[in-house]
Structure 1
Amino acid sequence: MLLILTKSWDNAMGSYATIESMITRFGREDLTEITDTEPPYTGEINLTRLQAATAAANAEVDAYLAKQLHVPTVLASPFVQMMACDIARYHVALGNSRVSERDEKRYELAVKNLKMVNDGKIGIGAGTSEVNAAPSVNLAQMTSGRPSVFGNSQY
């Protein structure tokens, strides 16, 4: 059976980790293995369980970032998305008592990075236009030499 995602299953606007980003990061087979753990086994991703994990992860990311930034901050930041996905995977695995050493290390690294962002030690790699910040309008202009009377910078 082919799993078709619709926007109704994806998190609402303002999400770092989404069903789609989880599938991209970990793959369908891996997510099926960690979410389809109770009868009746379907051989598919348990979207309800994964949705709950992404919601918890997004809330956790917001809790860490809220001290320094307006949240949700940069929704398309690959760095924040990666941390949120790792946290969501940890929550799914933890709920099934199937946390691997790899999941634990990913979670600990994500939390460490979020704490460093919170402390202002690292940034979030905001390279998109989806930042909740006012654009700069009072920019200084530097010139060299004597200004021209005619405004064309020639002497």
Structure 2
Amino acid sequence: MSDDRTIEPSPSDGSTPHAPGPEAAATGAAPEAPAYPAPPAPPAPPSDTAGAPAPAYGAPSYAAPAYAAPAYGSTYGSADYVASARTNTLAILSLVASLVGVFVLPFIGQVAGVVLGHVSLSQLKERAEKGRGLAIAGLIVGYATLAIGVLLIFAFFILLQAAVGESGLSYGA
């Protein structure tokens, strides 16, 4: 089965071609797609500076920073590098004093560790230093061992009283 119909080229005057009639639908031929005008060009973005052209779409609107290599003999730890916060000295001493109080000077070291821990925590609130964990560890070790020491002293006196009471020792008899 052959089709006698020919496809006519679109007119050169810009008008749209006529749609095929019902006979094209009956024969199974596909209708022609209508010609649409081209979309308008997008407007140019406004420029930030007077007289300078606006950047094209997709191009960055900033200049990438230039990274220079360090000069010969200098290191990255020189003046252009900001040092990180240092550790508070009293926080370190708090933990050390509390541990010394456990093993060497039982009461003095623990009290010193607790006092230094509280002073270092107040300094850490005012300054940009590290060491909060050390100060808290010094406080915990100091308070815990001080409490254990006090409990051991009370237990010693209770046991001593119980031992004296059972033996029947009395003063002045």
Instruction: Check whether TM > 0.5.
Output: no
Q: Normalising by structure 1, what TM-score?
A: 0.25
Say which one has the larger Rg.
2
Q: Normalising by structure 2, what TM-score?
A: 0.23
Does 1 or 2 have the higher relative contact order (CA < 8 Å, sep 6+)? 1
